[in-house]
Amino acid sequence: MPRSLGRFLRWDVVVTALLIVVFFGGLGADPNFGNADNLAFALGDLGEIALIALPMTLLVVCGQVDLSVASVLGLASALTGYLWDAGVPFETIIPVVLVVGVVCGLINGLLVTRLGLPPLAVTIGTLTLYRGLAYVVLGTEAVSEFPPQYTAFTGNVPGLPVPYQVALFAVLAVATALLLHATGFGRSLFAIGSSEDTAFFAGIGVKRIKLLLFTVSGLVAAFAGIVFTLRYGSARADNGAGLELTVIAAVLLGGVDFDGGKGTLGGVIAGVLLIGVLRNLLMLNDVTTEIQAIVTGLLLIISVLTPRLITLARRPPVERSLQ
């Protein structure tokens, strides 16, 4: 296959092109889609997914995964509501909740790095554990009426149809992209994802890096839980249920190999935006949440299958015949 054609068959390029096609198709299909208020809503609805997708990208590049992020978000939301209802100042609640997120991520990391347990099994277990703790903390109740000076930060940046959390994501995305693609630490992540043994013998602190990534994942998920709570004005133990699948779908849709060692943050951002655009178009057409879940599941399957087919297509015919 010609090298120039191979560049265009890169999955992150394909996803970016698909995002452009779907976006302009949406402009023609629904007159409300291009409205500034609707675009601001669509971006805001992506805020927590986009934030969690950043550390998740680093984890998956490293050959790891954290399925407990949505439950950490729910636990953070429940704890925020419980403490606020108990009369704790919000300035105290934020650092306490973030520390709890760090502890959750640290537990995941220690189980994976010190006991050698597979991250998929560990985080499926802690997914249930942390969600259960959220119900222990708050039960089935909902807490609302949070301080307006904090709920205001879930609105738009003055003069722009851009929510504050999306502006924050943009800043963090630039920093994460530089970390992943322009530093020795980022090269270490790709090396670990490609071969842990090779990375270890090359002097890379494999366990230390994985522990750090799981801890950061817990921290960001807890922060997303605070944002989620303030955006909806309601703290509940079931907040964010199922969100982990959307995050994973966005990361894999963006071209990050689930086995690790391959991917770009630009592709992940395109994947996040594509999911957001599709979700918004479905909501504008009154499509039920059940159908939206089906679409997310299909995207997850496509995102795993298609890049592998593209990789196979780029191989010489003789090599393909040996598969």
* Over residues 159-183, mean pLDDT: 90
3-state SS, residue 262: coil
pLDDT at 4: 46
Q: How many CB atoms lie within 10 A of CB 135?
A: 15
Tell me the CA distances in angstroms from 281 to 53, 215, 259, 311, one per residue in order.
Answer: 21, 35, 32, 31
What is the amino acid identity at position 292? Q
pLDDT at 5: 46
Q: Would you place residue 13 in the very low, low, confident or very high pLDDT band (cuts 50, 70, 90)?
A: confident
Look-up of token digits 């943050």: 265
Q: How far is CA 61 from the centre of its chain?
A: 13
**What's the pLDDT tens digit per position in 291-318?**
878 887 887 787 777 766 766 766 666 5
**What's the pLDDT tens digit per position in 69-123?**
999 999 999 999 999 999 999 999 999 999 999 999 999 999 999 999 999 999 9
What is the amino acid identity at position 246? T
Q: Is the pLDDT of residue 196 over 80?
A: yes
What is the distance between the alpha carbons of residues 64 and 106, in angstroms, rounded to a whole number? 14
* Over residues 135-157, mean pLDDT: 87
Q: Mean pLDDT lowest for which of 131-145, 226-240, 308-322?
A: 308-322
**pLDDT above 70 coverage of the chain, percent:** 92
pLDDT at 307: 65
294: left (phi > 0), else alpha (psi -120 to 50), else beta?
alpha
Inter-residue contact 250 to 268 (CB < 8 Å): yes
What is the distance between the alpha carbons of residues 77 and 83, in angstroms, rounded to a whole number? 10
pLDDT at 286: 81
* Over residues 14-27, mean pLDDT: 89
pTM of the full predicted structure? 0.90
Q: Is the pLDDT of residue 7 over 90?
A: no
What is the distance between the alpha carbons of residues 219 and 247, in angstroms, rounded to a whole number? 16
